[in-house]
Structure 1
Amino acid sequence: MPASPAAFGRSSFTVGGITFRPTGIRKSLVTPSKPTEPENEWLSLSNLDRVVTPAFSSTIHFFEGADQSFECIVTGLKRSLAEVLVHFFPLAGRLVLREDGLVDLHCNDKGAIFIEASVAVDLAAFGGPQPMDAISGLEIARLGPGPIYMPDQLESMPTLVVQVTKFKCGAIAIATNWHHTIADGSAGCHFIKSWSEVATGRGISLVPNHNRQLLAPRKPPNPSLVQGYSTKSAHNLNNVNTDRELMQSFTGSKEPPVINTFHLDKMTVQKMKDRANEELGQEAARKFTSAEGISAILWKKMTEARRVKVEDAVDVDDYLPDGTQTRFFMFVDGRKKLDMPAGYFGNVVCSACAVSTEEDILEKSSVYAASLIREACKRADGDYFRSLIDWVEVQGSSPSKSEHVNSAGHDVAATFWTFFPLYEMEFGFGKPVYSARNSPPRPLIDGIAMMPSSKGPGNMTALLNLSADRMARLRLDTEFQTCFIG
């Protein structure tokens, strides 16, 4: 029986009834090969950096057996990381808590945390390449329980953690974790691709731009367009992760969250999009995109999985009554909307918010849900981004976060990484056989993360985050099974 990936991060894990321990674990710091320029020692965060969830964004890349020794692989990765950190120096710095409660970025070249580990079992024992947050390195780095990672008055917070793991079969996994306060998914992938370019002697194809003053607030600020954001603290996420009673009070389920992987082939993606467009009608000026079509279907299916039939409910609170509000948060990139320079390194994302009731999502066609998502994303234009920057400025030192962070269990958050170059990241020992986000399951919200597929353009991999009971119901849905293979 495959080992549970979640078990690996502990001091031991079990495969087939036999307990193994990771061997040869080494933790070190990799500093830039040249010091940061003095004028860049303190880098002001933008308001779009301050509004994201203070967690680590994580990816994992798997490679088949390399013809180099593990020692040579690690040496090459450390050397190239030191070189690329000269350009991406924020990832060698530390997040520091100011006296007023705001966080600043100190580019002090203290270095990225680099972990190397060997595992005396084959990758196949884990079920093959897949997201494995337990080998992300975050637990070994000892940054705290997560998923919220914030500096305090005594301890600063590293901004980059890397773990390289070698399996008995020779497979290599590179897990990369950057603090979301420093960079969004687009910027994080820009860093990893640049690292891979340096590792293979190609040189950086796109030099990062660190001018965060490009996202300065207006004078006077005008926050009038903002919706879907609040000043609720995100710190209760860490408590909900470990307290099942607290989890039920937020989500209606005591079951722990899980992430399952599903695959969509190119033909299925096209059919899902065609289905929504057929309902839309020939007279429509603009057809639905794949993201809109997939999101609409998943919003409906996740809502169905959330609602327990009256006859199956343990108590009355298990059944969600009509009129229950549901929101769909779609993460939107604002680089083109704000005419940002190529290579801007930081956060330029917001969460567009579509709102409905659960019965409308269930009873109406997928066009209804897709149209709500489209209109929400349409509202997230350049003016909206500027208004969000101003809104954070008006809040001052108050925490400002997208409301999906503290969802009450009826909402869905979706992010699409399908155009990110996850399979273009080679480090000198072949192309990755699998690449995806590697974040741990989150308790408060149903989540969708769409990834590119190793099978090429048009194919997709879906990482779905649900409580275990809802995931089980979703998997039993016949219509879901016809589209998502897992």
Structure 2
Amino acid sequence: MDAFNTTANDVLTIERSVPHTVLPEQDTPGGSIFLSSIDNAALTIISTVYAFDRSDANVVGVIKHALSKVLVYYYPLAGRLAKDSQGKLTVDCEKKLGVPFVEASADCRIENLGSIQIIDPDLAGKLVYRDPTENMLEDGPLLTVQVTKFKCGGFTLGMAIHHCMVDGVGAINFMNSWAELARGKSLSLIPYHDRTILKSRVPPQIRGPYDDFVRVSDVSDITASFEREQIVYKSFHFDADKLETLKKMITTGGQEMSSCSNFVALAALVWRARSMALKMKPHQLSKLLIAFDFRLKLRTSVPEGYFGNALLAPSCLCTAGELIDQPISSATGKINKAIERVTEDYVRSSIDFFDTYHYDPYSVSSLLISSWLRLDYSCIDFGWGGPRQLGTGNPPLNLCLFMRDESKNKMGTVVALGLPLSAMNTFEELVRI
């Protein structure tokens, strides 16, 4: 397992330019963009860093010029948030305030960074420009960009993007489009900006009840442990052999569950181990939420280039006592059922619910697992080859990321999360295979 690379942070010194505003190269539509109830619930800013091994003297100019070109297609990113008459967020495309762009240089080689899959907050602060107005809802930029050049010729591309604008699939599509224009290519995918296709129905048709909508109270004093102790982030590597061993542990009547995927097996392991490590009381409700891309479930109404959030979080809910006392196969069964529940009717019903009740499903006793395993960033080539790594900084405390294992040639998965120090020590023992 890996903790934060604090050594890299200690030795990394960077010099930054003042932010330069990048505007779309051509006139873009005005008006406003409707944001769905799913978008309205995603009020966080996501930091990502792409690390590239080589470049040349023109790297900053090429990327900045291509950004002005790609903003013609992804023009909402150059706007700002606004509120409509009902208090819901929209994107004001009349406010063409652009994207802050920062050029930076580092005093070391890019390999000195080590693994950046989960980045120390201080290191992320050096590689990603965070605008001082970002928390001013109607003034902050929706995207910031920083290109940092290293002595070896490598560079990092750091971004802070508002989650209400896009999910992981949309972000990768945006990056691919940006890179294509940098190489002088035409876009292979045109973004689709009409988010009214995910508008709630009138009248709402909420079918349930679903475990997703159950509010979970903290009866185990978990909040206090997060506030009292040092928070530690670590990543855990599961290669193909470990994953196979784990799946063999998950048995029903002595037979391996044929429907248990690597993802489901790992999700069950992490959910149980986290609940145990946080010392949840037996009657404490423990909720697992799974970030689910429902584009394929609404194939007829969500175009391939949809630029917005097409994610829901189907959940599993039980007491910590039930989760821990029963075999792990019980947890995998709950997870499989939650995933199978995602149908078009489920998606539409959930959208109606969120639009009606403005519900926040998260709490410290909840765990959200988000898989980046299918996000193919290897083809994001600005002219010097694809990135060697993709990383993120400042993940929420109830979030666990599943990412590709980049440290080995064997297929595998990296599990990354943050916990209070004492809980992390216990969690580390519980997931050892």
* TM, length-normalised to structure 2: 0.87
Letter in 2 for 1:336: L
Alpha-carbon contact 1:425-1:431 (below 8 Å) kept: yes
Q: Match for 1:75 among 46, 58, 61?
A: 61
Q: Which position in structure 1 is the counterpart of 2:293?
A: 333
Q: Match for 2:92 among 106, 110, 116?
A: 106
Deviations 1:229-278 (A, max 9, x none): 4899xxxxxxxxxxxxxx964556512433322322233334433443x4
Q: Which position in structure 2 is the counterpart of 1:427?
A: 382
Matches within 5 A, 1:461-472: 461-472=414-425
Deviation, structure 1 residue 344? 0.9
Alpha-carbon contact 2:5-2:115 (below 8 Å) kept: no
Matches within 5 A, 1:322-471: 322-339=282-299, 340-395=302-357, 400-404=358-362, 407=363, 409-436=364-391, 438-443=392-397, 445=398, 447-454=399-406, 455=408, 458-471=411-424
SS of residue in 1 equivalent to 2:160: strand
Q: Match for 1:269 among 239, 243, 256?
A: 243
Deviation, structure 1 residue 120? 1.6
Q: Match for 1:182 among 165, 179, 192?
A: 165
Alpha-carbon contact 2:35-2:195 (below 8 Å) kept: yes
Deviation, structure 1 residue 160? 0.9
1:293 aligns with 2:265: yes
Matches within 5 A, 1:212-291: 212-225=195-208, 227-229=211-213, 249=223, 251=225, 254-276=228-250, 278-279=251-252, 287-291=259-263
Letter in 2 for 1:166: K
| Whole-angstrom CA distance in 1 between matches of 2:139 and 2:368 | 29
| Whole-angstrom CA distance in 1 between matches of 2:117 and 2:305 | 29
Q: Which position in structure 2 is the counterpart of 1:316?
A: none
Q: Match for 2:14 among 10, 19, 22?
A: 22
| Whole-angstrom CA distance in 2 between matches of 1:345 and 1:6 | 35
1:481 aligns with 2:428: no
Q: Which position in structure 2 is the counterpart of 1:239?
A: none
Alpha-carbon contact 2:247-2:256 (below 8 Å) kept: no
Deviates more, 1:129-138 or 1:366-375: 129-138
| Whole-angstrom CA distance in 2 between matches of 1:280 and 1:161 | 53
Alpha-carbon contact 2:211-2:317 (below 8 Å) kept: no
| Whole-angstrom CA distance in 2 between matches of 1:424 and 1:457 | 20
1:50 aligns with 2:40: yes
SS of residue in 2 equivalent to 1:373: helix
SS of residue in 2 equivalent to 1:114: strand
Deviation, structure 1 residue 369? 0.8
Q: Which position in structure 2 is the counterpart of 1:94?
A: 80
Q: Which position in structure 2 is the counterpart of 1:310?
A: none
- Number of residue equivalences: 419
Alpha-carbon contact 1:91-1:160 (below 8 Å) kept: yes
| Whole-angstrom CA distance in 1 between matches of 2:211 and 2:140 | 30
Q: Which position in structure 2 is the counterpart of 1:317?
A: none
Alpha-carbon contact 2:288-2:317 (below 8 Å) kept: yes
SS of residue in 2 equivalent to 1:142: coil
Q: Which position in structure 2 is the counterpart of 1:137?
A: 128
Q: Which position in structure 2 is the counterpart of 1:314?
A: none
Deviations 1:11-48 (A, max 9, x none): xx743xxxx7521433111111112134xx31111222
Deviations 1:386-428 (A, max 9, x none): 1122123323xxxx24411xx1x32211011111112221211
| Whole-angstrom CA distance in 2 between matches of 1:113 and 1:31 | 9
Alpha-carbon contact 2:248-2:256 (below 8 Å) kept: no
Alpha-carbon contact 1:269-1:458 (below 8 Å) kept: no
Alpha-carbon contact 1:230-1:402 (below 8 Å) kept: no
Deviates more, 1:123-132 or 1:369-378: 123-132
Q: Which position in structure 2 is the counterpart of 1:160?
A: 143
Q: Which position in structure 2 is the counterpart of 1:117?
A: 104
Q: 1:119 to 1:393 in 2, by over 3 A?
A: same
Deviations 1:369-391 (A, max 9, x none): 11111212222321121112212
SS of residue in 1 equivalent to 2:72: coil
| Whole-angstrom CA distance in 2 between matches of 1:85 and 1:230 | 40
| Whole-angstrom CA distance in 2 between matches of 1:150 and 1:372 | 40
Q: 1:135 to 1:252 in 2, by over 3 A?
A: closer
Letter in 1 for 2:175: I
| Whole-angstrom CA distance in 1 between matches of 2:287 and 2:270 | 13
Letter in 2 for 1:299: W
Q: Which position in structure 2 is the counterpart of 1:34?
A: 26
Alpha-carbon contact 1:228-1:403 (below 8 Å) kept: yes
